Each structure stands twice: as C-alpha cells, then as structure tokens.
Structure 1
Amino acid sequence: MDTSTTQILRYTAFTADPSGGNPAGVVLDAAELDDDAMLTVAADLGYSETAFVTARDERRRRFTVRYFSPLAEVDFCGHATVATAVALAERLGAGPLVFDTAVGEVPVDTATDTGEATRATLTSVPTTSRPAGAAELDATLTALGWHPTDLDPALPPRVAFGGVHHLVLAAKTRERLADLDYDFDALGAHMRRAGWATLQLVWRESPDLFHARDPFPVGGVVEDPATGAAAAALGGYLRDLGLVAEPTVVTVRQGEDMGRPSTLTVALDPDDARVRVSGHAVPFPS
C-alpha cells in the first residue's frame, strides 16, 4: 500500500520542550491503512512507537488507536498515547477522550496549562506485578552486565504490567543506572522469550522521586527517553510492595542520560489498581 500521502504528525511526549521527551509519530486518520502500511510508516520514522487512529467518533470523543514500533505492533504505548491525545485536543479542544486499544479502554484527560503546552493524563488498565524468577533475573543481569549486588535490596525485582509487561530492576546507586552498556541482541532475545516490552531500570532518589532508563531492544530501539506504560507499571509495583499507604504522586525523571530529559507524573491510590500517568507533549520538528 502506498503511504506517501499519509499525514504523519510528530510530537515529543512528557516534555514541554521540543528538545526533550520521547518522539512519537501520530497518524490521526489511519482508517485506510493495513498492518503492513502502518509498520512501514513506523519503520520509516524510526521512533520507538507511532500511534495510528483507525476509527473515530468525534461526537463521543472516542477513538480506536493502534501502536507500532519499527519492528512490530505493540499492544499499548504510553508516550504515543499522550502525544495522540494532545494532537487531538489541539484540534478538537481540551477535555476527556477515550482510546480503545488492544489492552482495553484507556481514558485520557487533556487540559492546557496556563502559559504552557497541553497536558494529557492517561488512566491505565488495572496493573499487576509478580516476583521475577531466578532464571529470568539471571539472564537479564548477564545481558545488562550487572551483578546482583548492583540492585537495591529494598526494591525487589518484579515483572509489572500496566498495559504491557516490564521487568522492574532498582539500581542501588545513580552511578549504576547511568552506566548502561548492554548486549542488545542477547537482551532483546531474552525479552522476546519473556514477553516484556521494556526493562524499567530505576534508582530511587526519594520516596516520591525516581530516575528511570528503559532499554527497548524488542522494538529495535536501544533506549526510550520516556515510557508511559512502564511508569504505570512502576506505580502498580510500588502499590503491590505496600509502599503507597495513601493517594500519592510520584515523579519519574527519564531520558536525562540520553540528553532528552522527560518528566512523568504518576498518581497512585492504594485502593485502585489503575494508575494515572500524565505529562505534556509538543510538536517535534521533523
């Protein structure tokens, strides 16, 4: 299918500065595109994900959205959801939206901050997590070049779900997190076998401030500058560990070591399995 006339928008999410955040492609009218065409567009762009609106009901502000990395379709993507919601809000007006995705219904609220860019807040599907198995943890550490002593014993490894699955590993020091030089092929093969979208590598600066890095070899990308789905999974992880006793807002700083700083705001409630992830998005020069 010829995609030369497809209108592709470029936004960067979880930042109000075009030089930061995670770039995403957005196609607001993809009703006529088949799977191969969407994959071609995503591969040509080369961003970690591109979102495609394949059906729309503007009166109800409800949209069907699919996500593609350069290598394959992805069930859910947080930063492309924020980018798409902001693109729609700029054209339809701020307010609530609903996205129908492969993992279920994802409500997204949009608002324009005074003097700032448009902000989008997605509500994840119910989150879950489980302890990481010894074999899957060993294979991950080997591919990363990490040692078990590099991990924070207060934050145990768990596989967390917030739309897609992520292995959450907490580094003991900021220096360990900053020194990321992993075996791309080995980690990608292991993650495909495990069914993980990214690794959520974090360092906890304080109870409400985390720094994160997210390798994404299964999508053909070395690292994501901002990962909304992983932030939702991290929120569920913190709740499941009993670290959230009351409604709490956690900030995740990501992309700093890549030169594309991103800020993700994660709202948690110990009585709600869903997690709310918010951030700005702005057009990204091509």
Structure 2
Amino acid sequence: MLRIDDHNRFAAGFTYVYPVLSRRAGGVSVGINLNPNNACNWACLYCQVDNLQRGGPPPIDLAQLIKELASLLDALLAGAFVVAGGQAAALADIAFSGNGESTAAAEFAPAVQAVCALMQERKLEVPLRLITNGSFLHRPGVQEGLRHIAAQGGEVWFKFDRGSSDEIATVNAIAWPLERAVAHLAQCAALAPTWVQTCWFCLDGAPPSAESLAAYCAALQPLAAKLQGVHLYGLARPSQQAAAPRLSALSAEALEAVAAVIRKETGLKVIVSP
C-alpha cells in the first residue's frame, strides 16, 4: 500500500522508477530516480534519503529506465498498487525526482526526451515534472531538458528554501549565493512553467524568524510575475540526516500564517502541504 509517509524509492523493485503517494501532486506520482547511488551535490537538513552522499549520479541506462517506466505504468493501470481504503492507485504525474539532483546526470536531456516519447505514445494526459535544486541551470543539456518538459506541457518545482546566502548554507548545506539562486530561478522560469518549492520547519525548536520570512519574500517578489506560485510544505516524513534531532514540524496553522505573508508580500499563489 502506498502511503504519504513512506517514499521508498526501491519498494517496487526497480532501479530508476518508483511509485509514491504525493501530497503535492495530489495522488500517485511515478518518480524517476537518476540518482540510484544516493548521491547529491546538496545535503539539505530535512532530506529523507538514507545514506545520502555528496556527488553525482552514475551513468544512466536509458533503455532500462524506459523499460521500467513502461512496466510500472502497466502495473498501475492493472491496479497493482493501492492507497488507503484499498482503492487502486490513480496516476497523478510523472516526476524526475529521486535520491539526488536529477539534472546532474549527463543523460538528463535524453532521459526527458525518452520519457516524453513514451508519454506521447501512450497518450498520457498527466503532468511531467522536474523537482530540482536548480544548481545546474547553466548547462545547455539541462536547458534542453527543460524545453522538452515545457513542450510536453509539464513544469518545474524549483527548490528555494530561504532568502539569504547564510540561511541557504545552513538549510541546504551548500555555499550557494542568493544572487545565483535567484538568477537560476529566473532562467528556469523563462524555459518552463516554474513553481517554487519551500520547506519550512523549526530548527532547534525555533521557527524561521520574521526577518527570514521578509528576506525570502523580498527575494521572490521581483520574479513573481514569471512564477506559477509557491509550494510551501512541512515535515511529513522524518529526515534521514544527522541534523534530524534538531528539526521539528510547524503546525498547519503556522504554515498557513507563513503562506498568508508570502501571498501579501509577493502576490504569488501559495499551496500549503503540512
């Protein structure tokens, strides 16, 4: 049975694809994991990947990926996966996500193109999504992949957790200047419909400060007209990182209060997933 609190990438027995019950997708998301080695260039405090390591993905076997995706889609259509209540799982989207940064893969653009071809062959009318930290937007191959996603009618969910370089360094464990994060977000939005995705939580018992929220809004406001909105979410599943004991979830009410400020200060649509 698929559950919101369990996103095991290997439960279905595949290397590259996996089904999860997603709060934000609103149903069953078929994930494409281009990082089966659990390697990422970031190490976010809240990351749910066990045995996460720094680095990039191994070479990707595109033929195997597409074979696995076709097989998993067949299984979903045959009712092999169920959700709470015993109901057959319905497909909500296909998403490049997984155990690291998908766009780090040298085969990212060909993988997107192959997935698009399979979706067109099967006449799948569900969104194709990319969940990304945006750090490789400067690569021509990544830009090509985003164009394929846009042509398929898909979208990007771009990780943007905080509005200052210091807080990005703390939350995402990466030296990533705010100016570069904003520039890559703007570039992404110019290539494909783009949502910001932001994880808000308490660190050492304290929620992000009012100053932190103000800096976050100030960073996004100039791009508001180019963005689809914000996916604001909390800690539905436990972190598997060393910082896990320092993290605690904000209440649904607290997240809604944060969302209200973002809406007021930026004009952006905000969807909250506690």
Shared topology, TM-score over 0.5?
Answer: no
Structure having the higher strand fraction is 1
| Greater fraction of residues in helix | 2
TM-score by length of 1: 0.27
TM-score, structure 2 as length reference: 0.28
